[in-house]
Structure 1
Amino acid sequence: MSTSAIGPGFLTQTATFTNKLGAAFAFAILCSILIDIAVQLNVWRVIGISGQRAQELGNSVIPGLGWLLSILIGIGSVVFNIGNIAGGGLGLNAVFGLDPKVGGLITALIAIAGFLIKRLGAALDKLVVLLGALMILLTVFIAVRSHPPVTEALRNTFYPDTIDLIVITTLVGGTVGGYITYAGAHRMLESGQTGPEHATTVSRSSVSGIIITGVMRAVLFLAVLGVVAGGVNLSDASNPAGKAFEVAAGTIGLRIFGVVLFCAALSSVIGCSYTSASFLIPHRPEYATRQNYVTIIFILLSGMFFLVMGQAPAKLLVFAGAFNGLVLLIGFTLILYIAAFRSKDILQGYRYPRWLIILGIAAVIVCWFLAWRSFDGVFALLK
């Protein structure tokens, strides 16, 4: 879940909004992390206990609701995956000087190999964990080099100079919106850790994933903040995050950004493609091979779109995150309904914690409020 969230769109959003809000962006990060925890605690628990994927849950409540959710998630997934493949190409370009289209093709082929070759596929989970750790360590190095105003960032975490609701909606959408909401939970189903007896393990895993994402967001924010606070304007840069890394550490910084971007892109291609395919294939052991083929087709289609377009514009990646924030509301409202009213049949008679339902209701109210207040602004991001 965490490595699926930390993709090229994640890097672009963080750099773009840090440049826009400065230290006040820290408050948006805090809000998004709190909402993310409330969302994932409920999503993972309901899916884990029921043993069903999100679209199956949706169809069991209202016939067709699961397929509507699949379509909406698919829209955001295609945009993000084009951006993921483009990001892999730009990352390899920054490190080795490869043509971005060639680098994007290599990124897609590596991801496809993971789903084609059984032995390599078994190592995918370990691979994305290593990629995530590498991204954080390299970004910490840049954060130290950029000398961010940490005291000001801490103050703005709780007493922000500016509050931007569209930014918060976009961050939530970029970390637990769209396909990312279900990436870890759907993967967990394949591990066999389902049913009421695994509720504690499931909850612990969901919070761990959000904390990892939050740490990466905070470290990247500090790295970019140091550059912005030094007087550099990233608004005109075609790649805001890459520009920040280069300013902070010169040519080495640009190379480091290339590695971070490639790691983020590859892990997100894997997570995005796998989760999107899981919305189209029933959760049955006999369908595992079919799901792999659908995943590969999704990567191929995304790669073809990338080769035609040449890139995924920064504005499109930011919009996809904001759009996913709106899509999140449908799936999360469904999850809370099942937790509150369908525990006897769908959740196998599990006694769902009341405090968790209250926490989820608070989060969904905030999300609906954010969506209402920022609806027009989300689509204005494309202008």
Structure 2
Amino acid sequence: MIKNWLKNIGPGPLVAAAFIGPGTVTMCTLAGVNFGYALLWALSLSIIATIVLQEMSSRLGIITQKGLAETIKAEIKSPILKGAAVFLILSAIVVGNTAYEAGNISGGVLGLEAVFSQQQIETGLVSVNVFSVIIGILAFSLLYIGNYKVIERALVGLVILMSLAFFITAILTGPNLLEVLKGALIPSYPENSILTIIGLIGTTVVPYNLFLHASLVKEKWHHNSDLKYARKDTIIAVVLGGLVSMSVMVSSSAIQVNDVNSAADLAKGLEPLFGVYSKYFLAIGLFAAGITSAITAPLAAAYVACGCLGWNSNLKSGYFRGIWMFVLVVGIISSSVGIKSIEIIKFAQVANGILLPVVAGFLIWIMNRASVLGNYKNNVKQNVFGIVILSITIFLGLKSILKVFQVL
């Protein structure tokens, strides 16, 4: 049974790897430090929303054997609307992932530095972080091989490593299980928690994962009968990913200080309370979170760009490789020399804030088109869930845009 499940495990863990990046780890750390277990319910809600949207995305990919970007482009008949959609998607996913890639690599670096301390090379003009370059080379090598099975196995291994590391860290802190359960199931709104709640949901329900999932399932599965494997794969992976995020929040709840601003601070804070091993487990988890996101972000950007521009999305095609190389190399350079492209990141946040509800709306619309999916279009229950989640994404999108412009 386990052997059969492992054989049919697919893109789900890659999707989990994509949303559990350094940003998610940091957001969960801050939520745990500031509010204890009180906001675990936001992650429970995020898990449900992510499963619903990712299931739609994977179903679309298997039935049509096309990516989400390609399908949106094909189904929008108005040239003006089509151009606007392509511009928004490219801006949010390709530009956005390029801007965030430095953060993904830097997150992995923080994990290594928590164990090995900082390693810099002074060149006279700039100071280069050795770990940034090492992580970049690892990601480059894996993507350049251009074999889906190799990428899948490597990321599944890293996700398992990350999961074990964060689970063990949480167990070491000796959490109150009844309080954890209460926090996960009963919504509460502590004072000044609204932006943290939005952040927790926003780091889990990720726009680029919808594009990534639709593209990856067609690499793995080619028949309608494979839908049952895809659904199981999605549910298990997203739930596992959500539990990893919860583990980080539980771990950080054990720190009784307010000067924790990142997962690296959390690693240092756990050591005197729970021993040196807690720091190492957390560091391993942070490294795995960083490197998995450093691989999936360029991969998603390449699939989206090729889908929008009508290029071949084969893993070994020149255009495909050119896109992910650009995203990865910019990330390596920015991370290794400490460049922070604040304005580009702000632009990406605004684009993502607009894109999430737009893509969720497009996805639900497409999933109701019999001309695209035939008998596999959404049923009433799926549409009800989808519309509720669409409403949440609109709220999140507005809040994230207002936050960027410092209205909130």
TM-score range relative to shorter protein? 0.7 to 0.9
After superposition, the Cα gap between the structure-2 partners of 1:165 and 1:53, relative to the gap in structure 1 and judged at 3 Å, is farther
Find the partner of 1:327 among 346, 355, 358: 355
C-alpha separation between the residues in 2 aligned to 1:146 and 1:326? 39
Calculate the aligned-residue CA RMSD, in Å: 3.0
Find the partner of 1:40 among 54, 57, 70: 54
Q: CA deviation at 1:185?
A: 2.8
- For residues 327-346 of structure 1, the aligned pairs below 5 Å read 327-340=355-368, 342-344=369-371, 346=372
After superposition, the Cα gap between the structure-2 partners of 1:322 and 1:2, relative to the gap in structure 1 and judged at 3 Å, is farther
- Partner deviation per Cα, 1:87-114 (whole Å, 9 max, x = no partner): 2222222233351611011000011011
The code of the aligned residue for 1:331 comes to V
Q: CA deviation at 1:56?
A: 1.1
C-alpha separation between the residues in 1 aligned to 2:326 and 2:400? 34
C-alpha separation between the residues in 1 aligned to 2:139 and 2:116? 19
Query: Do the aligned residues in 1 keep the contact of 2:32 with 2:253 (CA within 8 Å)?
Result: yes
Please say if 1:26 is aligned against 2:40: yes
- Which residue does the alignment assign to 2:189? 162
Identity between Structure 1 and Structure 2 (%): 22
Find the partner of 1:207 among 235, 240, 249: 235
After superposition, the Cα gap between the structure-2 partners of 1:247 and 1:123, relative to the gap in structure 1 and judged at 3 Å, is farther
Q: CA deviation at 1:238?
A: 8.0
After superposition, the Cα gap between the structure-2 partners of 1:374 and 1:111, relative to the gap in structure 1 and judged at 3 Å, is closer
The code of the aligned residue for 1:173 comes to G
- Which residue does the alignment assign to 1:88? 108
Q: CA deviation at 1:276?
A: 0.8
- For residues 188-203 of structure 1, the aligned pairs below 5 Å read 188-191=217-220, 193-194=221-222, 196-203=224-231
- Which residue does the alignment assign to 1:135? 162
C-alpha separation between the residues in 1 aligned to 2:91 and 2:223? 28
Tell me which moved more, 260-269 or 160-169.
Answer: 160-169
Find the partner of 2:204 among 175, 187, 193: 175
C-alpha separation between the residues in 2 aligned to 1:268 and 1:81? 8
C-alpha separation between the residues in 1 aligned to 2:46 and 2:386? 14
Please say if 1:363 is aligned against 2:389: yes
Q: CA deviation at 1:336?
A: 0.4
Gaps of 5+ in 2: 1-14, 77-81, 121-128
Query: Do the aligned residues in 2 keep the contact of 1:149 with 1:225 (CA within 8 Å)?
Result: no
C-alpha separation between the residues in 1 aligned to 2:94 and 2:270? 32
After superposition, the Cα gap between the structure-2 partners of 1:379 and 1:172, relative to the gap in structure 1 and judged at 3 Å, is farther
Tell me which moved more, 252-261 or 76-85.
Answer: 252-261
TM-score (norm 2): 0.81
After superposition, the Cα gap between the structure-2 partners of 1:373 and 1:259, relative to the gap in structure 1 and judged at 3 Å, is closer
The code of the aligned residue for 1:169 comes to I
Find the partner of 1:149 among 176, 197, 211: 176
After superposition, the Cα gap between the structure-2 partners of 1:151 and 1:214, relative to the gap in structure 1 and judged at 3 Å, is same
Q: CA deviation at 1:269?
A: 0.9
Tell me which moved more, 90-99 or 256-265.
Answer: 90-99
Q: CA deviation at 1:236?
A: 5.1
After superposition, the Cα gap between the structure-2 partners of 1:141 and 1:98, relative to the gap in structure 1 and judged at 3 Å, is same
SS class of match (1:288): coil
Query: Do the aligned residues in 2 keep the contact of 1:55 with 1:70 (CA within 8 Å)?
Result: no
- Which residue does the alignment assign to 1:17? 31
Find the partner of 1:219 among 236, 240, 247: 247
Q: CA deviation at 1:235?
A: 4.1
C-alpha separation between the residues in 1 aligned to 2:262 and 2:327? 30
After superposition, the Cα gap between the structure-2 partners of 1:374 and 1:24, relative to the gap in structure 1 and judged at 3 Å, is farther
C-alpha separation between the residues in 1 aligned to 2:103 and 2:38? 27
Please say if 1:114 is aligned against 2:163: no
Find the partner of 1:297 among 306, 326, 339: 326
C-alpha separation between the residues in 1 aligned to 2:88 and 2:349? 19
